[in-house]
Chain A
Amino acid sequence: MTWEQLIWYAAAAVICWVAGAVMAFRGKPAWMTTTSSLAGSAIFMAFIIGMWIALERPPMRTMGETRLWYSFFLSLAGVAVYVRWRYKWILSFSTLMSVVFICVNLLKPEIHSKSLMPALQSVWFVPHVIVYMFAYAMMGAVTLFALYLWLRKYDATDDELKVCDNLVRIGWAFLTLGMIMGALWAKQAWGDFWTWDPKETWAAATWLSYLLYLHIRGHVKDQNTLFALLIFSFLLLQMCWYGINYLPSAQGASIHVY
């Protein structure tokens, strides 16, 4: 498996995802919609597994490789939300976001090396990256939903806000898992749980910001504040994920360079 084959796997996956999204909109039975969407995710996962085997290491080392996981988990998050709450638009959203990240990967192909530095050869490497990518996908989904609710002409209903809460709870739970796994890994590798590396600093800011949302949710009724906080938190997440690669204060200061 090589990076050049991504376009074929992605095309097949996107066809399945789009079919699932269209079926959801047309009110087709849930099993049809879900099967189609999951088939797309399975095809995409097949590519990831193929890369894993070809590279002889988990494809999680480079930014492009993390984008693969992001696209995959977004599709899964979309299906999970659809199965749980039957929102017919969510599959279109998750497909759109997955496609955006696939396009970035196609337009910015990377050179892949089999090398994996000793610090990354840890039992924590795979779960740490996977739970973070899943968390990012959930937060991406809730951000899109919050934007949709915020920009339309009428207020969100209680049920719609509860969807935001639940997505944030799931996303925050996974952010927590990722952060703690990172801390346990760091202790094994370097002797410190936490070193305020720029990546860690922005991960902490992101985690705290979503935590603030969870804490004010029951007390603040103003929807503008809630939606603004969700979007602000997602901006912090972007800074944590790849923004620090461009941030002057973080240049040469982070061990999380990829």
Chain B
Amino acid sequence: MTLKWGYKRAFVRCALLFAAGTALQIVFGDLNNEFLRYPWGLIIAVNYLYLLVLIHFQKSRWTWLGQLADHYACTSSLGAMIAMTILFGLTRQDPSAEGLWATLGFTRMTSSWAFNILLLYFTTTTGLAVLEDMAHIRQRRVAAVLSHFAVFVVLVAGIFGSGDKLRVTVTTQQGQATHWGVSRSGEQVELPFVLTLDEFRMEEYAPKLYVLDAMNQTSSREFLSVEENGAQATIDGWLLTATQSLDMAGRMPDSDEYRAMEHIGAAPAVYVHARNQRTGAQREGWVSCGSFVFEPSYLFLDDRLAVAMPRREAKHYLSRMNVVTEDGEHLNFDIEVNHPARIGAWRIYQMGYDTERGRWSELSIVECVRDGWYSAIHIALWTMLAAGVVMFLTAGGRRKRKEVVK
């Protein structure tokens, strides 16, 4: 295929933008988006939009402006974004990396000049497509108009709003009020509200038993999930039977016997009966993952193999949090993964807990995120969802059965 001059010109433009970005990267290092903090991000965004409108209305008078809005510009900017994302995907993203790739900015693509310049070019061609759609709305497919608009809004909000986003990690201790956290860059940040952890709750999955191989230091792939007394599974030639399972148990320091115990630090324990299916050898004893109070217990099957219980996996965990706003308003939230609390432009996410203490954790780690551009992106994403549905419903809908070639 011979490439048309329009394509050549457009792709050369992308190559030049990439080269310029790389040169800027070498000279100035990473692109810092702090200059986009409110109100500057908004001011620059408004000016950028004004510039796009200006280009749209002046493009017929100036050939080079017209070349930003033609099909070749659209294709080349899309092609450039594909190339950049592939480069992004093939290069390990590591902010602390050094060497040639790091100098060129490829190991920190989101803050690399070349990526951001080409992203802005892609945003520009998309924005001009939106204006073109608006000018000829009746001749356009609904899905294309909605997609162009939504992608453009997401990109503009993502680029110009990037400086406004603030993420603050807060470690809350049960019963202790705090309004300080640490930002991603390690700075202490004062929050516009006070957080108090009233309670941390966790529900865990049933204990699982694995067979460990001490010689190879490996664990069996299969496991016995102890959901009820009498649960059985054959692992590595041993038939394991969980004869008794205690959700909360403990043992005296000089004893191997576990007994039920309602106390902080109690650990799950399972009494296991094991029978070797080949030799008939039998073993039995308690197995426990232990806790911050109790040591773990294993059932040794022979010189090499032992039955072990890893720490139980978390099913749900939530922080019952009391929040006092600047206005003195008291709010109560149950914050869970996938269920953040919302206070104005802030959202509070459940991040972690004291993994050493597990269900007995007395602290909860939450992340407070301020995102002033949330609504714009949210609306654009729902528009994009609608565009996807419209595209699906209208794909191929214009042809009649009679025309079909069998």
Which residues of A line the B interface, CB within 8 A? 84-88, 111, 113-119, 121-122, 157, 159-160, 162, 166, 169-170, 172-174, 176-177, 180-181, 183-185, 187-191, 193-194, 196, 198, 201-202, 204-205, 208-209, 211-212, 215-216, 219, 222, 224-225, 236, 239, 244, 247-250, 253
Which residues from A are CB-within-8-Å of B90? Answer: 247, 249
Partner of A191, one of B74, B92, B340: B340
* Chain B residues with a Cβ closer than 8 Å to the other chain, count: 62
In contact, B395 and A169 (Cβ under 8 angstroms): yes
Which residues from B are CB-within-8-Å of A196? Answer: 88, 93, 109-110
Interface members, chain B 353-406 (any A CB < 8 Å): 367, 369, 371, 374, 377-378, 381, 384-385, 387-389, 391-392, 395-396, 399, 403-406
In contact, B371 and A212 (Cβ under 8 angstroms): no
Partner of A173, one of B79, B109, B336, B395: B395
Give complex CA distance A4, B208 in Å.
21
The smallest C-beta distance from A188 to any residue of chain B, in angstroms, reads 5
The smallest C-beta distance from A80 to any residue of chain B, in angstroms, reads 10
Query: Is B71 interfacial (CB 8 A cutoff)?
Result: yes
In contact, A212 and B78 (Cβ under 8 angstroms): yes
Which residues from B are CB-within-8-Å of A157? Answer: 405
Which residues from A are CB-within-8-Å of B143? Answer: 173
Which residues from B are CB-within-8-Å of A204? Answer: 85
In contact, A118 and B392 (Cβ under 8 angstroms): no
Which residues from A are CB-within-8-Å of B347? Answer: 191
What is the chain A residue whose CB lies nearest that of B88? A201
In contact, A114 and B388 (Cβ under 8 angstroms): no
In contact, B336 and A111 (Cβ under 8 angstroms): no
Which residues from A are CB-within-8-Å of B71? Answer: 215, 219
Give complex CA distance A215, B76 in Å.
11
Q: Other than the known A198-B89, A212-B75, what 18 A-B pairs have Cβ atoms closer than 8 Å?
A: A88-B406, A114-B205, A117-B314, A157-B405, A159-B405, A166-B395, A169-B396, A174-B392, A176-B385, A177-B392, A191-B367, A208-B78, A208-B82, A212-B82, A215-B74, A224-B1, A225-B1, A248-B92
Asked if A176 meets B388 with Cβ closer than 8 Å, knowing A196-B88, A196-B93, A196-B110, the reply is yes
Which residues from A are CB-within-8-Å of B85? Answer: 201-202, 204-205, 208
In contact, B396 and A166 (Cβ under 8 angstroms): yes
In contact, B205 and A115 (Cβ under 8 angstroms): yes
Which residues from A are CB-within-8-Å of B222? Answer: 111
Asked if A177 meets B405 with Cβ closer than 8 Å, knowing A183-B381, A201-B89, the reply is no
Query: Is B252 interfacial (CB 8 A cutoff)?
Result: no
In contact, A205 and B89 (Cβ under 8 angstroms): yes
Query: Is B8 interfacial (CB 8 A cutoff)?
Result: no
